[in-house]
Amino acid sequence: MAQDTPPVKRGRKRAVGEDEVVAAAMRLLGTRGADAVSIRGIAAELGLAPNAVYTYFPDRAAVVRAVVEYLLGETDLAALTTSDTPWRDRIHVLAADLRHRLLAHPGAVNLLLSGPMDGPHALAIGEALLMVLADAGLDPTQAARASYLLIVQVLGAIALEAAELPSPLPPPPIAERVATRREQLRAVPADRYPRTAEAADTIARFVSDEQYAWGIDRVLDGIAGRAKG
């Protein structure tokens, strides 16, 4: 009499959550760049079928929004809400923090600019910024317009800087990047572009901390001029 064949034990299906999906997307962003952040790429990173990812996110756009929220959620809003610090200093701290965090993941800038920033963390940053501008003496309409102007300045400057970086690698030291830009500018024909040649050293430092802060200061100067006396 043949022995009964024991039943095959099937492995338990591995469950993942939204946090694991976002963590996998961040790993892909850091190792392979923004283009690798896809439903199939995330599923492969987790060792799952794509359907497992679709359980939590209906499409890539939803994943991207979650990654953006994750990045913005790392921002420390305490600097913005400290009312005993001058309002300009608070904005500089926020701007420097965003630049530092986003340039650590150059591909993240493309993701950030690929869709609306309307999640809870993005809204929290916007709310805190409006509060700072109210402290500066702006009425609600002026504060809203100034907030948008600052966001454009900050993200635009970061995006231009990130475009020169070898994503997904971390950025080289600023001094090295300035030196590289200076060498490139030396190849610009001075007879055809005399003003560019004259300003080459300044242009080479467009990726410096000083230039970034200078641009924000010029925006803040304009905002201060609109504030109530």
Mean pLDDT for 41-50 is: 94
* Phi-psi domain of 137 (left: phi exceeds 0; alpha: psi -120 through 50; beta: other): left
Q: Could you tell me which of 208, 166, 211, 203 has the C-alpha nearest to residue 182?
A: 203
Mean pLDDT for 31-60 is: 92
Q: pLDDT grade, residue 15 (50/70/90)?
A: low
Instruction: With a cut of 90, say whether residue 218 has pLDDT above it.
Output: yes
Instruction: With a cut of 90, say whether residue 12 has pLDDT above it.
Output: no
Tell me what pLDDT residue 65 has. Answer: 92
R_g (Cα) of the chain, nearest Å: 23
Spell out the domains of the chain, with CATH numbers in brackets: 18-58 (1.10.10), 71-226 (1.10.357.10)
Confidence (pTM)? 0.84
Tell me what pLDDT residue 8 has. Answer: 41
